Structure 1
């Protein structure tokens, strides 16, 4: 199983490429690559586009294969197509993640991997029943996924047409799918991370009911 991180967007409302946004001591692109690797992906490919040269200089992407998407301005579909095309023939499934969801960790990837091992061809991380990202796609569906993509619509077009293929994987207990589109979003996810850590360090955090 491989991991594919889509990180080509320019982040127009942030004023900088999302890949270059700093979060918890790392760039978002570094964090995303690490999550996929730590989640059990045998190989990680990362699609870059906007400010690609700056990302290459600033980001530590050791262990990942960089895929250039010169058509990044056309939307997410071009990045998904470029990423899937870059995967070698021996890869039988891929977890597709977005660079702008920093509160999704390796545990989510592991759950999707388990679904794949149990026979799922398509698995989607859900949060309180709502389908979000990441998404696991078996190689069998890649041609149809690619054919259905357009503009800024990636795998969602295929998933909408083929709900019978989807295995839902609930992840609300281990992750938050909030994305970072604006400076306000970035403040919120940073605050959420801080609150989560404060809660885990509380003297009562590990207390269990007696009896």
Structure 2
């Protein structure tokens, strides 16, 4: 169940449920620098025979989101090939080496994100995230009238994905370096709703051991 963790904000139960539109921005531009020598890319690792980045995109496409945007950068051609024939919007971030903030900005500036009431920020390296999880976050955002931050948690500990209202776009555009939305959330002044999705909120695959433990197989 979603939990409002800022009692100073107005009662969200007073807000009407809306069909607020949500665009998903999948961040898939990083260098996989913790995968060790040999140039292996975690997003090309396979889970049940499907590259992780494609698996993440398929999960997003099965949700109630209005559109799915994938931000690429490192080994862009291979990532794009893994996403072939999927109805996603590809956004190249030539500044991906500057850190996560540049990729988040690239996604928010995408034409497919423009006009959306909220942006669901999704990391491409989280194999435990399901369409059910994403829909729970979107539903909570809509039930809050599209005016609250919604984030996935596990046992009360913040994780990912996160939904940011359109009103925070300007704050995203000011981000720099290898940072995500966490600082924005804590300083936004908006209500923050937590949706517990279990271990999936924290399960990413930064290292070869992480990937193997999650059931993946490194390919290239």
Please say whether Structure 1 and Structure 2 have the same fold, judged by a TM-score greater than 0.5.
yes
Quick one: distance in 2 between partners of 1:116 and 1:7?
24
- Structure 1 stretches of 4+ moved >4 Å: none
TM-score normalised by L of structure 1? 0.83
CA contact (8 A) 2:32 2:40 kept: yes
Residues 3-62 of structure 1, C-alpha deviations (whole Å, 9 max, x = no match): 110000110122333332222221111111111111211210000000001222343351
Provide structure 1 residue ranges, at least 5 long, that are not aligned to the other structure.
192-211
**Structure showing the higher helix proportion among its residues:** 1
Quick one: distance in 1 between partners of 2:134 and 2:171?
23
User: In the alignment, which residue of structure 1 is the partner of 2:116?
Assistant: 91
Task: Count the aligned residue pairs.
Answer: 189
> What SS does the aligned partner of 2:109 have?
helix
Gap change, CA 1:61 and 1:94, over 3 Å in 2: farther
The structure whose RCO (Cα within 8 Å, separation 6+) is larger is 2
Gap change, CA 1:40 and 1:179, over 3 Å in 2: same
Cα RMSD after superposing both structures? 1.8
User: In the alignment, which residue of structure 1 is the partner of 2:79?
Assistant: 55
**1:137 lines up with 2:164 in the alignment:** yes
CA contact (8 A) 1:123 1:137 kept: yes
> What SS does the aligned partner of 1:167 have?
strand
**1:28 lines up with 2:40 in the alignment:** no
TM-score normalised by L of structure 2? 0.80
